[in-house]
Amino acid sequence: MTSATKRIRRTAEDARRQILDAAEARMAQSGPAGIRLQDVAADLGISHPVILHHFGNREGLIRALTHRAVVELKDKLMVAIESSDVHTEDILGEVFNAFRGGLAQRLAWLAIAGTDADHEQHDMVTLEIVRTIQEKRVESAPPGVVIDEEDTKSIVYLVTAAAFGDAIFGSQLRRRAGLAADAAASAAFRHWFARLLRTHLGEDEEPEAAGGCPA
């Protein structure tokens, strides 16, 4: 802790990445308002002016943080949607997992105290996801069946909101019940939720009942 005066010199890219990692960890706990440059620097064992050097000022760091979170969410969600073979439960698991690891917390901060810049990005993400899922539903639907896009929007909205809330509230219940119990409970809920959606989508028995009951 005293000397060992070997000064470590990172590439600018590496330094930025490490700083963002440390700042993310802090933000997940205390939110953007709780980020202290000196604390972040201390976590990395560097001096705080390094952060100023790489991000200009504190606000620059926050901006970079928001950009990173939105991109991370988009990437995870797109992978979740495109990789799995439209099996409801698989997608659900991927989406729920996408929010874990502090991402939900970070997004909560940004959604609440967010700047104007990331709003458009966030909306674009939503639109892109809705479009992708809508295409998949249309493809896999029997000919002649119309898939209501509003129904798809609602599903995406519900799943996103639920996964988000699960990540936020679930972590609270987790601390009391221990990890094993939590993982099981979380999985059970996802299973229940998947069945609810499957019946709505008609994946189970009724093929033509995709979205919206024909009154």
Partner DNA sequence: ATGCCTATTTACAAACTTGTCAATAAGGTC
Partner DNA sequence: GACCTTATTGACAAGTTTGTAAATAGGCAT
Interface with DNA (CB under 7 A):
5-12, 15, 35-39, 45-50, 52-54, 57-59
Residue 176 contact among DNA, a second copy, none, beta carbon within 5 to 8 Å by kind: a second copy
**206, interface contact from DNA, a second copy, none, CB < 5-8 Å by kind:** a second copy
Rounded-to-integer distance, Cα 184 and Cα 175, Å: 14
Verify binding: residue 142, a second copy, rule CB under 8 A: no
Distances from the Cα of 108 to the Cα of 95, 124, 165, 179, 201, angstroms: 16, 18, 10, 23, 29
- Alpha carbons 148 and 138: distance in angstroms, whole number: 9
Instruction: Please report whether residue 72 would count as binding a second copy according to CB under 8 A.
Output: no
Cα Rg, the chain, nearest whole Å = 21
Between the alpha carbon of residue 188 and those of residues 74, 98, 183, 192, the distances in Å are 26, 17, 9, 6
- Find out whether 151 and 212 touch, Cβ atoms under 8 Å: yes
Interaction between residue 209 and a second copy (CB under 8 A): yes
Least Cβ distance, residue 191 to a second copy (angstroms): 9
The two tokens of residue 10 are 């990172």
Tell me which of 142, 143, 178, 214 binds a second copy, using CB under 8 A: 214
Q: Which stretch binds a second copy (CB under 8 A): 24-32, 38-46, 53-61, 65-73?
A: 24-32
Q: State which of residues 50, 86, 111, 145 lies at the interface with a second copy (CB under 8 A).
A: 111
Verify binding: residue 157, a second copy, rule CB under 8 A: yes
At its nearest, how many Å lie between a second copy and the CB of residue 211? 3
86 binds a second copy (CB under 8 A): no
**Residue burial 137-165, b: 16+ Cβ < 10 Å; e: rest:** beeebeeeeebeeebbbebbeebbebbbe
DSSP single-letter state for residue 146: P
Query: Would you tell me which residues interact with a second copy (CB under 8 A)?
Result: 28-31, 33-34, 105, 108-109, 111-114, 119, 122-123, 150-151, 154, 157-158, 160-162, 164-166, 168-169, 171-173, 175-176, 188-189, 192-193, 195-196, 198-200, 202, 204-206, 208-215
